[in-house]
Structure 1
Amino acid sequence: MGDKPPGFRGSPSWIGCVEASLCLAHFGGPQGRLCHVPRGMGLQGELDRLYSHFSEGGGPVMVGGDADARAKALLGVCLGPRTEAHVLILDPHCWGAPENPTELQAAGWVGWQEVATAFDPNSFYNLCLTSRLEQQQQKQQHTLDC
């Protein structure tokens, strides 16, 4: 895309959520909306936004942080009756086609984790909330029809 120095291509360097969002836009993928959370403990304040995102049909949420270098993809949110909350996390390093969904869970690639323990309270996080491509195309088509 031209946003990285020439030596970046083929290097073991990683991109973050901001770059992932730029890639989605550049290559015509689903729209990626960025949300910056200054500290992991602030994710509690974003749970309603994440819940709405998923309940309205939003796609996976890419997560990257600074002190917490473990990449994550959020696939869902479960809000409990009190303050407990869990997120369905997929390790983005997972690849290949599993025989069945339980295989992913048994191998530790995907699972529900409590928000309080899944995120480092001192790390900042960038979230890239993706739309489903079909939804984006439908919205564009509707705009053209009006």
Structure 2
Amino acid sequence: MGDKPPGFRDSQNWIGCVEASLCLAYFGGPQGRLYHVPRGAGIRGELERLYSHFSGGGGPVMVGGDADAQSKALLGVCVGPGTEAYVLVLDPHYWGTPKSPSDLQAAGRVGWREISTAFDPNSFYNLCLTSHNSEKQQHGLD
């Protein structure tokens, strides 16, 4: 695509959400809409955007950070009556065919996590919200 030096090709180097978004556009995949969250503590302020994304039919949200180098994919959000808030996290490194969804849960590959434990409050995060048709998708905080 021309955004990396020649030595990047065929390397084992990782890409982040920005590069993943570029790849989606370049290869004609789902559209990726990027949002930067300066500190993980600010994820709470993005819950309305995430809820709107998922309730509007949006796809997985790729997440990458700096101090928190554990990449993750978000598949849903759940906000409780008080200050409780959870995200459904999928480990994007999993591959293969699971025997059952409960096997994925038991292995820690997918599950609901409270946002305070899913995100490092001192790490920045890039969120790439995927959608097949971004014009139909509504975002409450745009």
Q: Considering the TM-score relative to the shorter chain, is it more than 0.5? A: yes
User: TM-score, normalising length from structure 2?
Assistant: 0.92
Aligned length: 136
- Aligned-pair identity in percent equals 78
- Equivalents in 2 of 1:99, 1:36: separation in Å? 36
- Equivalents in 1 of 2:51, 2:19: separation in Å? 24
Q: Cα RMSD over matched residues? A: 1.4
Contact between 2:41 and 2:122, CA under 8 Å: does it hold in 1? yes
Matched AA of 2:101: P
CA shift in 2, pair 1:42/1:137, >3 Å: closer
Task: Compare the two structures and name the one with the higher helix fraction.
Answer: 1
| Cα offset, 1:12, TM superposition | 1.8
Residue of structure 1 in register with 2:128 after alignment:
128
- Equivalents in 2 of 1:84, 1:11: separation in Å? 41
Q: Which structure would you say has the larger Rg?
A: 1
Residue of structure 1 in register with 2:103 after alignment:
103
| Cα offset, 1:13, TM superposition | 1.0
Residue of structure 2 in register with 1:62 after alignment:
62
Residue of structure 1 in register with 2:15 after alignment:
15
Which stretches of structure 1, 4 residues or more, deviate above 4 A after TM superposition? none
User: TM-score, normalising length from structure 1?
Assistant: 0.90
- Equivalents in 1 of 2:117, 2:101: separation in Å? 24
Unaligned ranges ≥5, structure 2? 137-142
Unaligned ranges ≥5, structure 1? 140-146
Equivalent residues in 2 for 1:74-85, closer than 5 Å: 74-85=74-85
